[in-house]
Structure 1
Amino acid sequence: MIQNIIFDFGDVFINLNKTETVARLSKKFGAFELSEEMIAKNDAYEMGLLTTEEFVAYYQSIFPTATESELIDAWNAIMLDIPEHRLEFIEALAAEKKYKLFLLSNTNDLHIEYTIKTFGEEKWNRFKACFDVFYLSYEINFRKPNADIFEFVLNENNLNPAETLFIDDTLEHIETAKSLGIQTWNLIPGTNDITELFDQPFDFKK
């Protein structure tokens, strides 16, 4: 029986355009693809291993004609909106107090700062207040799909994996959680919506 629910953030609650950052930079500075080094830097930033200043400086070394604001605007272009119906859904679920609710997001300081600024502190605080624990990768120095981030959440909260449901749009993250005995739902953006959670075939606590 599900007692605990761990939610991803991007494309579960907040809509994303995952290709927009590369598209914007390519349009302005010439076509490019993310290199292994860029991906490693992005991952390190999501784990809080680079400061925002170090992260932006790295990309200025790649795009020397870019201003800091141009790079930050392109980086944040991935972030879209948090639909009100999803916010109302998680607020209603939290009010029932049937489950322990967790957020577990691969994210970074710039994206969170942008989200708060764009949607306002009131809306952000409404969202954050719904969760018993709110885990952001850059604050805890772990990131999905590594097993240690799931083990950290399970151990810190004394959760039974078999009684825990993890929801994420990325299959690689789902597969790691599943390997640890956690129940999973691979939500597909554009096909599924988090508001359909209780239509899924899980043994939810009544």
Structure 2
Amino acid sequence: MIRNVIFDFGAVLFQWKPLQIVQTFTQSVDEQNILMREVLAHPDWLELDRGTMLIAEEIPKFAARTNISVQRMEDFFSHIQLSLEKIPETEALFFKLLDQNYPLYYLTNMCSAFFETLYEKHHFISFFDGGVVSGKELTMKPEPEIFHLLCERYGLVPHECLFIDDHYPNIETAKALGFNTVLFTPTQNCIDEIEEILTMFSEKKQLTR
């Protein structure tokens, strides 16, 4: 039976569209390409997510690598955070599951500063029963350690959890550890799939009583 639901943040509960982010920041195709290649797709970005580097440390590095001024790079990081808007369909699903008394958790690859900004801006995050942010733990998906950390911290049993994530390697690790999973896509079909899985397990629970 599924007792708990675990949400990813980026591209599941919040918009994460890197190309759109750079295109809405600058009209220069050259600058767009540089920001995609040397910032969002650069290994240093993963160090932010892992928490081994801080934004204040990384911005000068990104600026030096791209020949973009520190001030403009700071503006770009502010723009990224403003771009992390809620996805209405999954927010609605979140509140529906909350009303059904599912304990809800998050497991997200995100730097601490971005998470704190989202937490202050979006009150519904406080309704989660708990969660793990990679930037605070020095480990990140798809590494098994971050899944173990979530389970140990909140007393979760993998086969009693439904894990929702948009990134296939994360889903692979979760499956290998015994989690029920849904590879998320921003479609009504995916929302329906999540609800059907939970309904199916709920009905199995009723039958075994």
Contact conserved, 1:20 with 1:77, CA < 8 A, in 2?
no
Following superposition, the deviation at residue 144 of structure 1 comes to 0.6
Contact conserved, 2:112 with 2:133, CA < 8 A, in 1?
no
Contact conserved, 1:6 with 1:165, CA < 8 A, in 2?
yes
Distance 1:113 1:72 in 2: 17
Following superposition, the deviation at residue 28 of structure 1 comes to 5.3
Distance 1:159 1:103 in 2: 12
TM-score computed with the length of structure 1 as normaliser = 0.79
% identical aligned pairs = 26
- 2:175 alignment partner AA: K
Cα 1:94/1:178, change in 2 over 3 Å: same
Query: Which structure 2 residues correspond to residues 62-81 of structure 1 after superposition, within 5 A?
Result: 62-68=65-71, 70-75=72-77, 76-77=79-80, 79-81=83-85
Cα deviations by residue, 1:82-102 (Å, 9 ceiling, x for unpaired): 1445334323322332x2210
Contact conserved, 1:21 with 1:74, CA < 8 A, in 2?
no
State the match for 2:96 in structure 1. Answer: 92
Aligned residues: 198
Distance 1:39 1:17 in 2: 16
Q: Does 1:198 align with 2:195?
A: yes
Distance 1:162 1:133 in 2: 18
Distance 2:125 2:105 in 1: 10
Following superposition, the deviation at residue 197 of structure 1 comes to 2.2
1:82 equivalent among 56, 81, 86: 86
- 1:157 alignment partner AA: Y
State the match for 2:131 in structure 1. Answer: 134
Distance 1:20 1:72 in 2: 18
- Runs of 5+ unmatched residues, structure 1: none
Following superposition, the deviation at residue 154 of structure 1 comes to 1.5
State the match for 2:46 in structure 1. Answer: 43
Cα deviations by residue, 1:145-200 (Å, 9 ceiling, x for unpaired): 11111111122222221111110011010001111111111012346454752134
- Runs of 5+ unmatched residues, structure 2: none
Cα 1:30/1:40, change in 2 over 3 Å: closer
1:166 equivalent among 155, 163, 166: 163
Distance 1:84 1:166 in 2: 19
Secondary structure, in 3 states, of the residue corresponding to 1:135?
strand
Distance 1:142 1:21 in 2: 26
TM-score computed with the length of structure 2 as normaliser = 0.78
Contact conserved, 2:59 with 2:70, CA < 8 A, in 1?
no
Cα 1:10/1:193, change in 2 over 3 Å: farther
Following superposition, the deviation at residue 109 of structure 1 comes to 3.6
Q: Does 1:34 align with 2:31?
A: no
Cα 1:189/1:96, change in 2 over 3 Å: closer
